Every structure is written in C-alpha cells, then in structure tokens.
Structure 1
C-alpha cells in the first residue's frame, strides 16, 4: 500500500503566497523548456445529461512530480469540481490528492506572472486589467510580485464589479488601482495588459497598444472564442504555453490565421523555451509581446507539489491509502 496526503480546499486556501506560486510555476516552465512532457487539455462534453469533463497532465522530472488536473461540470447543477493528483515521478507512487478549486486562480495567476516576467519590459509600471472575477484577482496579485507597478487600471462591463474590484485591490496592493469606463481607457497607455474575461469577441482594439506593450490573455481556450483581435496577434511576438494547443483551442490565434493576418508559423516560441533561455523573448523595448495562457498541467503539477510539500511541513492533510497494481490486479 502507498499512503498519500489528501488536502481539502480549506487546507489549500492560504497555504502559499503568490510569490511561492510564481516561483514554483516558473520552475515548472523552465523544465518544460528543457523538454519536460506536457499535453494540452482534453475536454469531453455531454448533451444528455448536460456536462463537461476536462483534464490535462505534465511530468516535471526535476521537481520529482507528475500529475495533472481533472474537473467536472454538471450543467444541471451549475457548478464544478476540481481534483489534482500528484505522483512521484520516479516510482509512480501517489503523493497527494488535492481539492483543486481554491488553488486555481493562484496557479493560473502565477502562470500569467511568469509570462510577464519573461516578456514584459523591466521598467513596466502601468498595468491594465480587463475583467474583475476571481481569475483577474489571481492574475493581478501574482503580476504585482514580478514588476513594481505604480498604476493599475481596471475595466469590466459592469460598473459595480469593476469598482468593487478596484477598491479591494487598491487596499491590498502598493499600486494605485482605479476603475475606468472602457477597455480603451485601460489599455491605451498600459505597459502590460491582462485579459481575464468570459468574452467571446475581442475586448480591446489592438491598434491601441503602444510599442513595447506586453499582453497576457488567459480568459478563453475555445477555437471559436477570443479575447484578442487579429491586429494584436499580428503586431506581437506570440508566445503560447504549449505550441500543440495553438491550432486546437487558441481562438485568438486561430481567428487571426483565418483572417489572413498571420500564418501558423507566427508562433514565436513556447513560454517554457523563453524561461529556459532556449528561445529569445523580447529583443527590443518596442516589441509587442503576447502570452496566450490556456491552462496546462505544468502549472498545476508545479503548484500542487509545492502545496504538498508545505502541507507536509505544517502537518496538514489526512492520509489516504492506494493499493499497488501488483497487488490489486492479482487479488493478493
């Protein structure tokens, strides 16, 4: 038998700081850039009964962990459940099983921050956030750990939501955070732009981006939905989390190809390649860069293993036992 640690959502929540998530995820992408295996998400849907099952996975040899994420949504219940298993990369033994929902905004936010750190100008001081939900919160908190932002402008279509978000983040961060009345007002003078929305169509005009701007887009991973217009993709060095997913569910890139703005070889590099130094990132202060984050097992395994190690050190979690196949399959 193998004993693994089960961590509840309550135990995971608040266990690590945004800085710790960013450090773990950066290391995960460094390993990916040096050849660590990872595959894009797979999504199964059902019409009757209505529902969705999604999963993705990765192996991080230097971390010594492999695993991924699986989440289910039953549309009749209008809710979702997230599970993150972590295995030992050498023995294959289960190490941990996490109730994964509470870590989601933090590990996803950390991925965006790694993209900012790898691709944005070092002197970036102004940030635009389009979106005001939990993912936007995670992105902003993580982004503030990799650049010393002085001003943050927030836009979402509902005035109350953007003002509430700005007030909360203004109290939490050193930067001045303010709500604005349009995405154009947020974007046009920003050094860094984050989109974290459920929009199906572009949320700003790519012509508004100043030379040198970095954009992190993380709100859509559907071939027919996009947050960025073709102009943004065309003007930018385009860096996805995984090259393999670009033509599958990176809707902004797919639309830009269909409109003839770019070809499929417009992909500059994977984020991991830039982090590992096997491909260049920004090469000029005037470069416009885009990190297209659709979600991978890389950040999930990196974050989940980090949380597992912290939980062990703090005596958190409860043990659950798994039978090895050598016993269970033979009935011994």
Structure 2
C-alpha cells in the first residue's frame, strides 16, 4: 500500500486540479457511472462529529473517515480531521491512504465553484460570504476563479474573525467589506460556510437573481439558511438522498416547503440533461452536502501525482 501524508498534499493539489476532479464526479454521477454510498455520521458529544463517506466510480473504490472536532483550534490543528483510503475495485485490496484535511477543504470549495460556474449569472460582480472559519478562505479563492468579482462582502457571528477573510480578499485584489446580514442583499453570489444549528441568512436577506452555495450543512440538525428560501428557489445538490436527510434541504422538506422531486442533481446540469438557471431574476441554490466520490476523486488525483514524482511512500500491511 502507498501512503501520501498530509504534509505533501499542498504541493500536489491546487484549486484548478480540485475543480476539474470534482466537476468530473458531478458528470459521472449524473450519467450513472458512479454512485455514493449512504453516509455514516455520528455525534460524539461536545460538538464533535465523526463518520464515513464512501462510493464507487470508474476505477475507484474507497472511503473517507473523519469528522469535525471543534476543540482542535486551541490545540494548534484544524478542526476537520480525515484520511482517505483507496481500494482496488476488483480485488478489494487497499491501494493507498492519503491525508484528507486539505483535500476536504479543496473539494468543498471546488464543489461550490462548480455550482457558481454553472448557475450564477455571468455578470455577477459582488460575492457574499456568510461565515469566517477555516473553510471560508478556500471558498473565496475558488469562487474568484470562476467569476470576475469586483467586491467581496461578508458576515460572521463574531465579526473580529473576518480579518482573515479580508486579508485573502486583499491578496486577490478585491475590495472587502464587513456587512450586517441585511447587507447581503447587495450580493449576486452568496456562499454560506458555517456549522450552525440555526439559520442566520433569511429569505429577506437575498435579492432576486442571486445564486447561493450552501456548503456547511452536512449533518442532521445543522442549518444555515431560512427554509422559506429553499421553498422559493430552484434547488440543486450533489446527492439528492443526502440533501433531504442531512443537507440544507432537510428543514424545508420537513416543513413541507420543498418537494424533494424539485431538487436537481447539479451533474445533470453539467451534462445537459436538466436546465440550470432559467431566468435572470431566479434565485438558485446549491445544497452542498459533501459526497464520498468527491473525496475519492481528489485523493486519486493526488495519488497519481505523488506516484509520478516518486513521493508516495510504500508500506506493508
């Protein structure tokens, strides 16, 4: 078996490679060539979450194990901890173990960027971000690669944490402004990336024609936006089964505001099987629940690059 440790990932995988790998996963799932397996997700207490995401695609079989541990920041390590294990789909033999922390951040941001590229209005110039945790900077960088934004606005429950996001915006040459939630009406694209159990962004905070990428809800009970917003929007997702059970759509569906049959797999838009945005004033919303196949795709890309450069470490098990 080969090992690609976390310390090597940054030198092997960047936003462009992650975008390409994740976009291909969307297309494969839409065409039936790949499928995600049911998620196992457990609460450990104290805000800790642990679970498994897995799937199988062309030449790929594997699982990501890991979760969210909110006390880690005080220990000097990231709150999200994970590892991806790849198996030979024919024999089941383990092929590789790959550090999953940076890969999770890159693939999550890439999925949001794919949705923005496919669904946001071409002339969108103002990007809004709700949340300022570790993942927010990745979201800003990825979004800026698919639209020529002229300004970034952001909100966070603790405003002082926005300083890090402001620094990333400056690095990208984009003016930055902290705004109240009502100020999000100026945004034409909004990315929500929080771990909240109660929504902050309300329907009244979103203007017609906005595209939202809701990336933080991946567990039963989490919630980032008002359910009425999904009831009024055209809703897309990575995995419909996850969207209605543990994604942002869980609340709108439970309240009878959203028919699950209305949720469109984003991959179907990429392959031309389903329409995307149908009107300039339509609100579109991508419910990014995070799927195992995305983890496997970026891990497989990293493994190939590591093998080509002689960086994969062989171990006997």
Aligned-residue CA RMSD in angstroms?
A: 2.4
Looking at structure 2, the residues matched to 31 and 109 of structure 1 have their Cα atoms a distance apart, in angstroms, of: 19
Q: 1:73 to 1:242 in 2, by over 3 A?
A: closer
Q: Secondary structure at the match of 1:290?
A: strand
Question: Which structure 2 residues correspond to residues 67-216 of structure 1 after superposition, within 5 A?
Answer: 67-71=62-66, 81-90=81-90, 92-166=92-166, 168-176=167-175, 178-185=176-183, 187-216=184-213
What is residue 258 of structure 2 aligned with on the other side?
A: 262
Question: Which structure 2 residues correspond to residues 232-251 of structure 1 after superposition, within 5 A?
Answer: 232-250=229-247
Q: CA deviation at 1:9?
A: 0.8
What is residue 8 of structure 2 aligned with on the other side?
A: 11
Q: Secondary structure at the match of 2:277?
A: coil
Looking at structure 2, the residues matched to 315 and 131 of structure 1 have their Cα atoms a distance apart, in angstroms, of: 38
Looking at structure 1, the residues matched to 84 and 105 of structure 2 have their Cα atoms a distance apart, in angstroms, of: 14
* 1:302 correspondence with 2:314: no
Q: CA deviation at 1:175?
A: 2.7
Looking at structure 1, the residues matched to 281 and 67 of structure 2 have their Cα atoms a distance apart, in angstroms, of: 42
Of the candidates 38, 41, 45, which is equivalent to residue 39 of structure 2? 41
Question: Which structure 2 residues correspond to residues 19-38 of structure 1 after superposition, within 5 A?
Answer: 19-35=16-32, 36-38=34-36
Q: 1:89 to 1:144 in 2, by over 3 A?
A: farther
Looking at structure 2, the residues matched to 153 and 74 of structure 1 have their Cα atoms a distance apart, in angstroms, of: 28
Q: CA deviation at 1:189?
A: 1.4
Looking at structure 2, the residues matched to 108 and 155 of structure 1 have their Cα atoms a distance apart, in angstroms, of: 20
Looking at structure 2, the residues matched to 180 and 154 of structure 1 have their Cα atoms a distance apart, in angstroms, of: 5
CA contact (8 A) 2:41 2:219 kept: no
Q: CA deviation at 1:87?
A: 2.7
Between the two proteins, the alignment pairs up a number of residues equal to 311
Measured against aligned partners, the alpha-carbon deviations of 1:274-301 in whole angstroms (never above 9, x if no partner) come to 2222221112222211101111112101
What's the TM-score once normalised by structure 2's chain length? 0.90
Looking at structure 1, the residues matched to 48 and 228 of structure 2 have their Cα atoms a distance apart, in angstroms, of: 35
Looking at structure 2, the residues matched to 199 and 46 of structure 1 have their Cα atoms a distance apart, in angstroms, of: 17
Structure with the greater alpha carbon radius of gyration: 1
Q: CA deviation at 1:145?
A: 1.5
Any unmatched runs of 5+ in structure 2?
none
What is residue 329 of structure 1 aligned with on the other side?
A: none
Q: CA deviation at 1:46?
A: 5.1
Measured against aligned partners, the alpha-carbon deviations of 1:42-91 in whole angstroms (never above 9, x if no partner) come to 113456x9975300112221xx2221211156799886641101234455
What's the TM-score once normalised by structure 1's chain length? 0.86
CA contact (8 A) 1:202 1:227 kept: yes
Of the candidates 57, 65, 76, which is equivalent to residue 60 of structure 1? 57
Q: CA deviation at 1:231?
A: 2.3
